[in-house]
Structure 1
Amino acid sequence: MPDAPAHPALRPVEIVQALSGDGTIALRDPSGRSPHIVSVSHGVMYILARLDGTRSLIDIQADYMRRFGRMLFSDELAKLLAQLDEAMLLDGPRFRAHMAQVERRYRESPVRAAIHADGVGDDPRAYFGTLLDHPADAEPRGGGRLLGVIAPHLDYARGRPCYAAAYADLLRHTDATRFVILGANHFGARRAVVATRKDFATLDGVVPHDGEFMQRIERRLNADLCEGELDHEREHSVELQVHVLRHVLGDRDFRIAPYLCPDPCGPTGTRPSDGRGVDLRDFAAGLGETLRDDPTPTCLIAAADLSHVGEYFQDDTGMDAASLARVEAHDRRLLNSLAAEGPEAFRSAVAATQNATNICSVGCIYVLATALHGRATATMRRYHQAVTREMRNCVTCAAVDFREE
């Protein structure tokens, strides 16, 4: 790093280990763009918190002096910044050049590689057969054509009850040959809906995408939804559904249309927070209109988890039974509002609490429900809380059917 940046900016990091015996904190890049885990002291954490792109080097040094009563020398700060830059944790020329190469490779490949199925093992058919053993406590599927499903994007092991409820007998309940998969954009750069016109590699072959259908939506919206498609490369929410679909549909030929949806609960609502891209409400309406004009049997899937609570998520919700019961009641109230009052009521209910329980998938649930509004009725078939007490966290999910009215 020849020269320290004038206003250094740290890329998003997360704590993977709190203060350990040696007084250090382990940090990593949650997007996986940097493979490095770095260990830092409490004093260095104070510096990192000030690398927001607005403070100058002198500002950072002055803050450090006020907090710790000693000088942070320029060569110390420059050395730290160089180490962060080398680890691809600074947003600067090195990282941007790296990402330009990554994006070029992704755009040139016709297939999105599978990167989120490490735990499946060497026999995916046996693994998914066990995963999808139908839970006895799931509500039975009703009548009417299945037009949409909410399924988890939690890892398979922790989300198993709802994966099973959503997918175990899917083959018998839909004749769809196209699946529109709506995921969450956990770590991507885009603040609007983003598509990728790539086939998806799975553990059992490649699943093709429906490029013609996706382009029809773009023409309707007069927008390029694939701008920023690199966000799909490392996102897990869509990929996990494709592996399961490939298993449960067996020999059926089918195509997918993959989209990542932003959070519509912030100050700008369904409009992109940075002003760039399509309004999520317009996308959802355009998707619904395109489906109504299309004879191909289609099923929508919202790859959605619900609440994320506990210390791991910088949240003070306890892991005791009473606290988790309150989380469940909150989740159920929101899903009841979705079923009874519709997608706008659901979105507004989450926004009214400032998304108090950190629901990561409001956008994709909203799009599915909006696209099917007036055509399908929502029924929750299973609710599940994946509690990891040693990590002090809980992630919740549900399996919800949308059946033709």
Structure 2
Amino acid sequence: MQHLEKPRVRPYLVADQVRGEPSSFEISDLLRLSPAVMRVTALDLEIMKRMEGKQSIAELQDSLKPMLGGGTVSPEYFTKLLAMLEECLFLDSPNWQSAISSPVRPPSCIGCYDADPKNLTEQIESYYLHKNGPGVPKARATDHRMDAVLAPHIDYARGGWNFAHAFGQIYENTTASLFVIVATSHYSPKRFTLTRKSFGTPLGEVPVDNAFCDRLEAVYGSGLYDDELRAHFPEHSIELEVVFLQHLLGPNRPFRIVPLLVGSMDDMLQDAADTSVPADVARMVKALRQAKEATNEPVCFVISGDLAHIGPKFGDKAGLPDDFLSHSQDQDLNLLAAAATGSSQGYRQILATEKDARRICGFPPTWLTLQVLGQCTGKLLRYDQYVNPRGSESVSFAAMAFQTRGR
């Protein structure tokens, strides 16, 4: 096979040293396209670093001789290593190219939810019926009375009922078939990243609204796909919302999404007195507004964002004493109250004043969507504060519904 003549290790792999074994490493896939974890030696890792698609096996053997004191690595050794890399999808090969060029983004969160469609359906239904859930959604909406929801993206085990509060409102209060999912980006340094790949889950495939994406690009400009693979393939913040939409709307109400990941906006939280908006952020606000206005059907925004991330796991040295948890909850509720008035500036001001000390990962998508909606009001549906029993971490999250004033 041609790709084995001058082998190249593909990008987006990470090597972690095995604890207590300085000469052993585990290779894994940052994109989560491959579930494999490949254990290698220090020599294997050195060979992999040299596999850049420029040298044949014989040339690689020669390049290793100085490091090995004139010794060599046998062709059989290379054959075995290449076979392992190929099996794990760690080579730049036809299989790898096929995976990244597929029009469908495969699920990356199996385990958070069940891979079997029937079991997954029952799993989602259980969150509506949970003691903290909203109950089974009532009558399906006959008109568009709601413009956005805030939903968490914490794993379902810790917050599935909170998702249910948000998505129950979608069933009852909007006829939209187009959902702009504005979600926290956890893996890419880029501010904004789109994908045009459909989202695949055990419940089927959900297409992207390409026309809406075209309108976004026309106003925002280029660069929205520069880090598409790293941003979207391993990301959970859109996929977990898509699964709830699929369960909620089912095959009888086809829908499309616009999957927009939003990266850090820490530069907007450095000075509480500074209300300026970076040029790229202002362009995205304008692009989303104009794309929405040019859409001849109801549009519902889904804000995917959690609230505080506190405790030793996130760098807080004081642990999680009760007064710290209580203060964090008070600040969360202040944030949500600001959001409920539609005040993106008030929301930002609270976080800038505390220098985002509690790591509100939902700030970028929430602030952005509030800006796009303009004058709106919100209703808090459910607030939760998860605390790890061992005291290592606490993550808070909420469900809200928004409508523009005058609707």
Determine the structure 2 residue equivalent to 1:116.
109
1:1-27 superposed Cα distances (whole Å, 9 cap, x missing partner)? xxxxxxxxxx99999x9xx9x9xxx99
1:242-266 superposed Cα distances (whole Å, 9 cap, x missing partner)? 0110001122110000011012122
Determine the structure 2 residue equivalent to 1:252.
253
For residues 161 and 327 of structure 1, the distance between their equivalents in structure 2, rounded to whole angstroms, comes to 21
Determine the structure 2 residue equivalent to 1:211.
210
Matches within 5 A, 1:44-83: none
For residues 91 and 361 of structure 2, the distance between their equivalents in structure 1, rounded to whole angstroms, comes to 25
Work out whether residues 310 and 318 of structure 1, in 8 Å CA contact, stay in contact via their aligned partners in 2. yes
Q: Give RMSD over aligned pairs.
A: 3.7
Determine the structure 2 residue equivalent to 1:83.
none
Work out whether residues 310 and 393 of structure 1, in 8 Å CA contact, stay in contact via their aligned partners in 2. yes
Work out whether residues 194 and 226 of structure 1, in 8 Å CA contact, stay in contact via their aligned partners in 2. yes
Instruction: Report the AA paired with residue 103 of structure 2.
Output: P
Matches within 5 A, 1:20-169: 31=30, 104-105=97-98, 107-121=100-114, 122=116, 123-133=119-129, 145-169=145-169
Instruction: Report the AA paired with residue 146 of structure 1.
Output: M
Residues 211 and 394 of structure 1, relative CA distance in 2, 3 Å threshold = same
Residues 168 and 215 of structure 1, relative CA distance in 2, 3 Å threshold = same
Q: Does the residue aligned with 2:382 lie in a helix, a strand or coil?
A: strand
Q: Does the residue aligned with 1:335 lie in a helix, a strand or coil?
A: helix
Matches within 5 A, 1:201-350: 201-230=200-229, 231-250=231-250, 251-266=252-267, 279-340=280-341, 342-350=343-351
Q: Does the residue aligned with 2:266 lie in a helix, a strand or coil?
A: coil
Work out whether residues 261 and 280 of structure 1, in 8 Å CA contact, stay in contact via their aligned partners in 2. no
Q: CA deviation at 1:167?
A: 1.4
Q: CA deviation at 1:398?
A: 0.5
Q: CA deviation at 1:300?
A: 0.3
For residues 38 and 353 of structure 2, the distance between their equivalents in structure 1, rounded to whole angstroms, comes to 37
Q: Does the residue aligned with 1:350 lie in a helix, a strand or coil?
A: helix
Residues 179 and 228 of structure 1, relative CA distance in 2, 3 Å threshold = same
Are residue 383 (structure 1) and residue 379 (structure 2) matched?
no
| Bigger mean CA offset, 144-153 vs 129-138 | 129-138
Work out whether residues 193 and 262 of structure 2, in 8 Å CA contact, stay in contact via their aligned partners in 1. yes
Instruction: Report the AA paired with residue 358 of structure 2.
Output: T
Q: Normalized against structure 1, the TM-score is what?
A: 0.70
1:53-97 superposed Cα distances (whole Å, 9 cap, x missing partner)? xxxxxxxxxxxxxxxxxxxxxx9xxxxxxxxxxxxxxxxxxxxx9
Q: Does the residue aligned with 2:295 lie in a helix, a strand or coil?
A: coil
Long gaps (5+) in structure 2: 1-12, 40-66, 68-88, 271-277
Residues 126 and 268 of structure 1, relative CA distance in 2, 3 Å threshold = closer
For residues 310 and 210 of structure 1, the distance between their equivalents in structure 2, rounded to whole angstroms, comes to 40
Are residue 403 (structure 1) and residue 403 (structure 2) matched?
yes
Q: CA deviation at 1:224?
A: 3.8
For residues 37 and 398 of structure 1, the distance between their equivalents in structure 2, rounded to whole angstroms, comes to 39
Instruction: Report the AA paired with residue 129 of structure 1.
Output: E
Q: CA deviation at 1:353?
A: 1.7
Q: CA deviation at 1:104?
A: 4.7
Determine the structure 1 residue equivalent to 2:4.
none
1:318-370 superposed Cα distances (whole Å, 9 cap, x missing partner)? 33433211110011112222333611331232123221101112111111111
Work out whether residues 128 and 164 of structure 2, in 8 Å CA contact, stay in contact via their aligned partners in 1. yes
Residues 358 and 295 of structure 1, relative CA distance in 2, 3 Å threshold = same
Residues 198 and 137 of structure 1, relative CA distance in 2, 3 Å threshold = closer
For residues 268 and 383 of structure 1, the distance between their equivalents in structure 2, rounded to whole angstroms, comes to 24
Are residue 367 (structure 1) and residue 368 (structure 2) matched?
yes
Work out whether residues 305 and 398 of structure 1, in 8 Å CA contact, stay in contact via their aligned partners in 2. yes
Work out whether residues 309 and 316 of structure 1, in 8 Å CA contact, stay in contact via their aligned partners in 2. no
Q: CA deviation at 1:30?
A: 11
% same residue? 28
Determine the structure 1 residue equivalent to 2:192.
193
Instruction: Report the AA paired with residue 205 of structure 1.
Output: G
Residues 135 and 377 of structure 1, relative CA distance in 2, 3 Å threshold = farther
Determine the structure 1 residue equivalent to 2:58.
none
Give structure 1 regions of 4+ aligned residues with deviation exceeding 4 angstroms: 11-15, 26-38, 97-107, 134-144
Q: CA deviation at 1:135?
A: 5.5
For residues 165 and 103 of structure 2, the distance between their equivalents in structure 1, rounded to whole angstroms, comes to 32
Residues 161 and 131 of structure 1, relative CA distance in 2, 3 Å threshold = closer
Q: Normalized against structure 2, the TM-score is what?
A: 0.70
Instruction: Report the AA paired with residue 196 of structure 2.
Output: R
For residues 332 and 197 of structure 2, the distance between their equivalents in structure 1, rounded to whole angstroms, comes to 34
1:158-209 superposed Cα distances (whole Å, 9 cap, x missing partner)? 0123112111352121101000011111122x32211001100011110111
Determine the structure 1 residue equivalent to 2:173.
173
Work out whether residues 308 and 359 of structure 1, in 8 Å CA contact, stay in contact via their aligned partners in 2. yes
Instruction: Report the AA paired with residue 335 of structure 2.
Output: L
Q: Does the residue aligned with 2:233 lie in a helix, a strand or coil?
A: helix
Long gaps (5+) in structure 1: 1-10, 39-74, 76-96, 270-276
Work out whether residues 134 and 168 of structure 1, in 8 Å CA contact, stay in contact via their aligned partners in 2. no
1:279-336 superposed Cα distances (whole Å, 9 cap, x missing partner)? 1232122102221222221110111011001111111353343321111001111222
Q: Does the residue aligned with 1:120 lie in a helix, a strand or coil?
A: coil
Work out whether residues 378 and 400 of structure 1, in 8 Å CA contact, stay in contact via their aligned partners in 2. yes
Work out whether residues 132 and 161 of structure 2, in 8 Å CA contact, stay in contact via their aligned partners in 1. no
| Bigger mean CA offset, 205-214 vs 291-300 | 291-300
